[in-house]
Chains A and B, each alone.
Chain A
């Protein structure tokens, strides 16, 4: 169950700390639990809002592919892994706190 949505158009971003302008994210879930569903919808919202068209999101359901859990050292569910830009960061939980997620992913929020 891998979904991908690609963004090719780079939006002008003045973030000083961010070297790369492309995010590779991977979300680990285990079945359709409320937490997983919440995390997914939260993440999509943030991505569309702040990383429109410059992110790649991969969703891994560990119930289907349990062998993938060890590779990214997954303990908690749901876990969001930022593969790119390096270093790898992990955010666990249902991602309900937008500010924390953005800080964790090192995304400079787009001013509305």
Chain B
């Protein structure tokens, strides 16, 4: 199985300049998919996931277009071939 991670602009430098990375492995949930990302791109993973394993509050992750928070959170299933889009939320000041 494989998954396509879309890396946001501010983190591309931490992913070797890539805007997208396709990773192979078995992931039955968003949490497991993010663990796959951390395996190959630990810096990117660290910027979007806290020590508690939670996605940082101002980060959005869309699984095939749906916010992971709307479809079951970190336990939400992820299909083989899914696009996992990581975006900073509209926040700041």
Are A and B associated in one complex? no
Residues of A whose CB lies within 8 Å of any CB of B are: none
Residues of B whose CB lies within 8 Å of any CB of A are: none
